[in-house]
Amino acid sequence: MMKFLVTNRQNLDMLNLPRGCHLYQLGKLSLISENKIAPKNIDQMYLFNDGYLKDLDKDVSELTSQKIGVLKAISGGWPLPENITGSFSAVMIAEQEETISLCTDLIGLYPLYYLMDDNDFFFSNSIILTGIISCAKIDPTGVLQRSLGPDFSNQGSRSILKNCKRLLPGECRRYDFEGNLICVEFDNRLYENLSKSDQDHDLAKDYWKAYKKEVLYCLNDSEKVNIALSGGIDSRVALGSIPEGKDITCYTFGSRENYESKIAARLAKLKPAKFKACYQPELYFPSSELLREYTWQSEGLELCSWLEITENVNNREKEPLLLGELCEALPARKIAKFSSRDFRQNNFIKYYLKNEDYNFEASSPSKFEKWKQKKLKTYLIFFHEKNLAKFDLDFDHEQVRKELTADLEEIFGRIEAHNLAYTELYDELFSWYTYTRMRLSKQLLVANTKFNAYSPAMSLQMLKRTSSLHPNIRLNYRFVNKLFSVNKELRRFYRVPTNQAPWVPQSAPDLFKFVSWGLRSKIDQFFIKRLMKAGNPNKRYRLFKSINWVQVYQNPNMEKNLYEYFQNDHLGRQYVESIKTQAKNRRDLKQWPFANMNIINAGALNAELDQIFKNREFKNDC
């Protein structure tokens, strides 16, 4: 992620800019950027973006024509026309009109911040850079949201800086050069024109054709293609879409002996493609120096598995890296009502063997309000006085809860604007707007430190297409099954089992896959209970080798690294001690050793705050 910040504040040449940053003048505006090359002026317009933006009406090799098409499209209105695709956040400056447009895709995977301070404005893709240059105060509510469950993420447009907002999903904001807001518009085209619920359809071929075209534009004619291959269904779709003749390298994290790695290796061989399993378990609790480095570079460190890949590649220049779908839209896994373990077990015969249609509840204002209140309770429960008392921040308990409610109302408003047909879709879109947008998106941010990482399934055109498929034909992998069976590029990958249901090909009947899944799950539970009862971290962890979180916490440098993460504590002694205690209890098997994402999240948050404060020491006006 290349940091950039656009502001109308002048005389910035007197500042000691953070490392690697350079100052440019764009007429009346100032640009601070990590790029050493002066920004390119195209038809009196500038474009700064994370992710990718493409004009599908232009040939894939016509990069300049594509950029002109994108600039004209953003200037022309919102939402963007059908010929524009991509997964992005962008700032566009139009010198002739003296306007600045800020916009993001349907989910808002890439953060883009805006801060208005008296007569000055700051637009940036970096919260650290914004905090340094603007001198904005820390927002206690933003810090608390990042530190507590259930998401450990900011909600709505909130950030960790006061008055600094993050674009909402599908949002476009336009300003003049004085910082006056011209308009705010939203793209509400998810779930538009739902298909029929009939399972006998012919939509898979058109979907596959559109997906392959999306990948073609992602790759930009690059002969070298990298892919993060987990062995899951979504990464198989991405693998199958790569055009023949490309030099393909598949990456997975974890030991080559892990079951997931073996599945991924089989898939790579079928393509065919090179395969690299990256294994460096000490990176799950990285050194303080490495944690600070990735926090500065990506502002997305949380799932340290990705460091096994990024720390073991030596690309001289960034190459494309494809990721699978981040929101599990194609199999509708985030429709909570039908995705629970109990529901699938209790309704296996009805929906899996007999393949009956699912019944959906029609949406209504009263049902939406009832759902909202239930969702609010699941968040507010984490913000009780006992939890809040752990932080050394200046805030009012009741005010924090009110602000959390207001932030969630922003997300509820975005959901309501889509006029969803069924109540079951509330949970799905909420998950995309929170968990996918704020947490899973960090995979892209970290991967971008060494690659040009893209998730083609999350683009404007593909996510619109996916969400318009009736949920009845998405659930239970029904659409996925058809996608793999009718398209020859995918068919070979469907004969390979998944991680969830070992032994049995994914193309096998659901009965065999369900038995395989259930048997593996029961055996795994047996090993877990035996390990915890014995209190012995060396006992078997799973039926098949996988990322061993028990062993992750046995890292001999864990306590030392944890201490150094919080050596300059900006959160609160009690909170930091609770994080350290949690890690030790997991190491000593007093608690089950879950993935350490909440612990790394706390360390990275503290590092963000520390880098903001330390860089401010060199400024005279903060």
The series of mean pLDDT values per 10 residues for the chain, 622 residues long, is: 92 83 94 87 95 96 94 97 98 97 98 94 98 96 97 98 98 97 98 96 97 95 94 95 96 96 97 97 98 97 97 90 97 94 87 93 98 98 96 96 98 98 98 98 97 97 98 96 95 92 88 89 95 96 94 97 98 98 97 96 98 80 69
The DSSP 8-state label assigned to residue 347 in this structure reads: T
CA distances for 58 relative to 46, 82, 216, 502, 551, angstroms: 19, 13, 12, 44, 51
Q: Is the distance from CB of 126 to CB of 5 less than 8 angstroms?
A: yes
The domains of the chain are located at 4-188, 204-332+448-499, 336-438, 526-610
CATH match of 204-332+448-499 with 3.40.50.620: yes
Q: Is the distance from CB of 278 to CB of 252 less than 8 angstroms?
A: yes
pLDDT at residue 316, rounded to an integer: 80
Q: What topology does CATH give the domain 4-188?
A: Glutamine Phosphoribosylpyrophosphate, subunit 1, domain 1 (3.60.20)
Task: Tell me if residue 113 falls in helix, strand or coil.
Answer: strand
The DSSP 8-state label assigned to residue 316 in this structure reads: S
pLDDT at residue 621, rounded to an integer: 67
CA pair distance 114, 124, nearest whole angstrom = 7
Structural tokens at position 429: 């879109």
pLDDT at residue 619, rounded to an integer: 63
| CA dihedral for 553, 554, 558, 560, sign (positive or negative) | positive
Q: In what order do the strands lie in the sheet with 452-454?
A: 274-278, 247-253, 224-228, 320-322, 452-454
**pTM greater than 0.85:** yes
pLDDT at residue 530, rounded to an integer: 96
Amino acid in the structure at residue 614:
K
CA dihedral 381, 385, 390, 395 (to 10 degrees): 110
